[in-house]
Structure formats: structure tokens, C-alpha cells
Amino acid sequence: MIDKRGYVYILTNKNNEVFEEVVNAITREKQIKGWLRNKKIELVKKFNPNWDDLYKIII
């Protein structure tokens, strides 16, 4: 997928992390799934501190 800025996303998980291998993305998703809610929120803040709607960027 190519976004409006010309970046190519090979494979991304729900947290907007980019992976080249499907196995790595699945492993990361399983790791995050086990976290407490507060830790997940901190991860989102790291990638998107303003909680912007990213839909228009990745489509």
C-alpha cells in the first residue's frame, strides 16, 4: 500500500508499526494483546500523540 506521502507500507499492525515479515507482525500483535490497557495507550501516544485520525493518511 502507498500512502499520500509516497510511503510504502509492507505490512502493518493495528498500532501503525511496519513489518516486512508476516510472522513478525503476528508475534507483535500477540505480545501487545497481553498488555494492560494503560500500556497500550502509551504505545498509541508514542506513535500518535495527538490521537489524529490516520485513516486518510493510509488510504
Q: What is the pLDDT of residues 5-15, one digit of tens each?
A: 766 555 566 66
On the question of pLDDT at 43 being above 80, the answer is yes
Q: Whole domain around residue 7: which residue ranges?
A: 1-59
- If one compares 1 and 36, the residue with the highest pLDDT of the two is 36
Torsion (CA) 5, 8, 1, 54 in degrees, nearest 10: -50
Inter-residue contact 38 to 47 (CB < 8 Å): no
What distance in Å separates the CA atoms of residue 49 and residue 29, rounded to the nearest whole number? 20
Q: What is residue 53's predicted lDDT score, i.e. its pLDDT? A: 82
Q: What is the mean pLDDT of residues 40-47?
A: 85
pLDDT at 36 over 90: yes
Counting every residue written for the chain, the total comes to: 59
How many structural domains does the chain have? Answer: 1
Mean pLDDT along residues 21-44: 85
